[in-house]
Amino acid sequence: MLTRWDPFRDLKGVEAEFDRMVGQAFSKNAWVPALDIRETEDRFEVTVDLPGLRSQDVELTFEDGMLTVRGQREFSRDENEGQYHRIERSYGSFARSVRLPRVADSEHIEASFDNGVLSVLVPKREEAKARTIEVKAT
């Protein structure tokens, strides 16, 4: 019996084996929440999309210039109703870290959580802000 040759069949097998060996941390299913970092004259603004989470599901730390967001999104399924035909959303633990410049004021960081979006405001130290210096004529 002749079978059609699929050049990608072996590649799919290698990908599946890699996912199995390395685990979800490096696989295509690992959850890495999207984030934006914006700098203004007086602060850094970090915004992280965390759909389906509540503020108590999120841990925020700042240590040695590194801002880290950690959390976990649980997969909830009701065993008594229906069956899944496709699962594309990622679940599990996540951690995102961002290194901020030395001018970040770690003592005055503010964080808020609204509709699945974490907003972190990190002010700059006063001495780091731009200032105008008067030039005197002699």
Between 92 and 24, the more confident residue is 92
26-75+89-127: CATH class? mainly beta
pLDDT at 76: 74
User: How far apart are the C-alpha atoms of 15 and 13, rounded to whole Å?
Assistant: 5
User: How far apart are the C-alpha atoms of 10 and 2, rounded to whole Å?
Assistant: 18
The percentage of residues in the chain with a pLDDT greater than 70, rounded to a whole number, is 74
Question: For 80-133, how does the pLDDT look when each residue is reduced to its tens digit (9 = 90+)?
Answer: 677 888 888 888 899 999 999 999 999 999 999 999 999 999 999 987 667 788
The domain limits of the chain are: 26-75+89-127
**Which range (41-45, 55-59, 87-91, 105-109) has the least confidence?**
87-91
pTM of the model: 0.69
Q: Given a cut of 60, is residue 78 above it in pLDDT? A: yes
Q: How far apart are the two ends of the chain, measured CA to CA in Å?
A: 98
User: How far apart are the C-alpha atoms of 101 and 98, rounded to whole Å?
Assistant: 10
Q: 102: which residues sit within 8 A by CB, 6+ positions away?
A: 65
pLDDT at 25: 47
